Amino acid sequence: MPSSIARRAALTATVLAGPVAWVSAAAWGLPTALGAHRRRLRPVVSRSAQFSGGKFHNRMPTPALSPANTRDGLLRQWHEERHVGLPGGPIPLTQAEIPADAAELAVTWFGHASALLEVDGQRVLVDPVWGHRVSPSPVFGPTRLHEPPMPVEDLPQVDAVLISHDHYDHLDLPTVRALLSTQTAPFVVPLGIGEHLRKWHVPEDRIVELDWDDSHTVGGLTLTCTEARHFSGRYFHRDTTLWASWAITGPRHRVFFGGDTGYTPAFAGIGARLGPFDLTLLPIGAYNDAWHAIHMDPEEAVRAHGDLGGQVLLPIHWATFNLAFHRWAEPVQRLLAAVTRTGAQVVVPQPGERIDVLDPPPLHDWWSSVGSAAELADPGGDGGVGTSVLVRTATRLLRVWS
């Protein structure tokens, strides 16, 4: 009998070894990646007019997610349609030749919302994400659909690093760590995100935290933290840090960086106060009816561009991560159909391509040949996300930390 019990115990241990190892790997480094706890955030954020009842709020009513019955539908959609957003082939990359001296007005797009701006001879890096997976875990969460067009270590020295909000596809711990050793510029961020950076050992003299409508000057540039319509949170607790868009104003040129936002009438006010803008970078991807209030669709991006008094529009927040259920190329296709009706000027660089905004190149369709993998989807794959069962297991484990 004892030997039988021992054999059963050994068999049980063998069966459990795989899942336990997976959960351990999934949870590795999570407390650090999650950022600052809300108890640390409260003294910093409570002074903001946008903060009340323990969290930040948009200035207009904004549901972050629809009711529970819709969430159930989203889970089924995620399971059944997660492959729709994958590209049909390799995404072409370009490695830009970035000049030693920053130009009057240029932009290098690295994919998603990451870009290097050159404005009146200075450089600003926005929402830099070089990590492989936009998730707190090295095991589950969306993975990159293309490699970074250039190593983060090869970036020229920048004058500021701007962050729009603390979601993983906009604030990336591995990239922050890399920039700590390769750059000397300050991180200019919305209120609360500085606490994440402090936890990650960013020096105090490299952290500038701003509320909406506050500004910070770097050299000849004024960086103004402007309103956005979104939410924040790095896993359990939402809206504990502020989200924002940014106006970058130089002596001669102006750029608007939307980060990640739903459409808001506030864009018209921003355009009136701080515009018109020579260049706007506006999100066009990861839209869905269930979260229309917090993610713009391509047509809304064109409308926002007009509200802001934009001259040239560069679409961001598409192509690099599979975050929604639309086809991979659909955002840019819808965008171009919309600008045909309005006459707005659009540039659509390949990831890694540098655009001289004062002399933009003719529009080149590089996305149609990539297409969508929806028709070729493998029901057995995970779409770069990880299975829901394993995610739930890791979530239960993490609740101990929170």
Q: Is residue 124 predicted with pLDDT exceeding 80? A: yes
Dist. CA 173–CA 255, nearest whole Å: 26
- Rounded distance, CA 155 to CA 143, Å? 22
Q: Which of 303, 322, 313, 373 is nearest to 349 (CA)?
A: 313
Burial 88-114 (b: 16+ CB within 10 A, else e): beebebbebebeeebbebbbbbbbbbb
- Residue 153: pLDDT band with limits 50, 70, 90: very high
Alpha carbon distance 301, 311 (integer Å):
13
CB 309 within 8 A of CB 134: no
Give 76 or 179, the one with higher predicted confidence. 179
Please name the amino acid found at residue 199: K
Q: Where is pLDDT greater, at 251 or 2?
A: 251
* pLDDT at 38 exceeding the cut of 50: yes
Q: Which residue, chain included where needed, has tokens 């994400």?
A: 129
* HSE of 21, CA atoms in CB hemisphere, 13 A: 6
Residue that has been written with the tokens 């954020």 in this structure? 45
Q: Region 15-31: what's the mean pLDDT?
A: 45
Q: Which residue range is the domain that position 43 belongs to?
A: 1-402
The tens digit of pLDDT for each residue in 311-322 reads 999 999 999 999
Q: DSSP state, 380?
A: T
Share of the chain above pLDDT 70, in %: 80
Q: Who's near 53: CB < 8 A, 6+ residues apart?
A: none
The mean per-residue pLDDT over the stretch 135-162 comes to 94
What CATH number is attached to the domain comprising 333? 3.60.15.10
Per the structure, the count of domains in the chain is 1
CA distance 108 to 353: 6
pLDDT at 272: 98
The backbone torsions φ and ψ at residue 143, rounded to the nearest 5 degrees and listed phi first, read: -105, 165
Tokens of 155: 């970036």
- One-letter amino acid of 8: R
Question: For residues 317 and 259, what is the distance between their CA atoms, to the nearest angstrom?
Answer: 8
Q: Position 112: which residue type? A: H
Confidence class of residue 402 from pLDDT cuts 50, 70 and 90? Answer: very low
- DSSP 8-class letter at 207: E
Can you tell me the mean pLDDT for 256-282? 98
- Tokens read off for 402: 């929170």
